[in-house]
């Protein structure tokens, strides 16, 4: 089941200077911390003048999040939640 969220969230991330990549490690949403086990995809996209970085991640309970990092505002947005086990 997929659900559109579009909410600002807190994200703990790690920048690796050797690979020159920023990787989200944890998402804090609605008072709960979700540990990110895997970054499945990352792609930059432009929406108008804004450069956004979109991350598709898998959390510790096998829920997938689509996270958007806005390089202009420096906000992280939880755009979508995909729960594979929901009925």
Mean pLDDT for each 10-residue chunk of the chain (87 residues)? Answer: 96 94 95 96 95 96 94 96 75
Give the tokens for residue 8.
């600002």
Phi-psi region at 31: left, alpha or beta (left = phi > 0; alpha = psi -120 to 50): left
SS3 state of residue 34:
strand
Q: Give the separation between CA 65 and CA 71, rounded to whole angstroms.
A: 19
Q: Domain extents for the chain? A: 2-83
Q: Give the separation between CA 65 and CA 68, rounded to whole angstroms.
A: 10
pTM of the model: 0.90
DSSP 8-class letter at 73: T
pLDDT reported for residue 85: 65
């Amino acid at each position: 089941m997929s659900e559109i969220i579009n909410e600002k969230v807190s994200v703990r991330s790690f920048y690796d200077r050797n690979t020159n990549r920023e990787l989200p490690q944890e998402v804090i949403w609605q008072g709960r911390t979700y540990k990110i086990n895997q970054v499945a995809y990352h792609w930059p996209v432009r929406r108008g003048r804004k450069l956004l970085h979109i991350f598709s991640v898998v959390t510790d309970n096998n829920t997938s999040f689509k996270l958007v990092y806005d390089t202009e505002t420096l906000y992280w947005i939880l755009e979508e939640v995909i729960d594979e086990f929901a009925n």
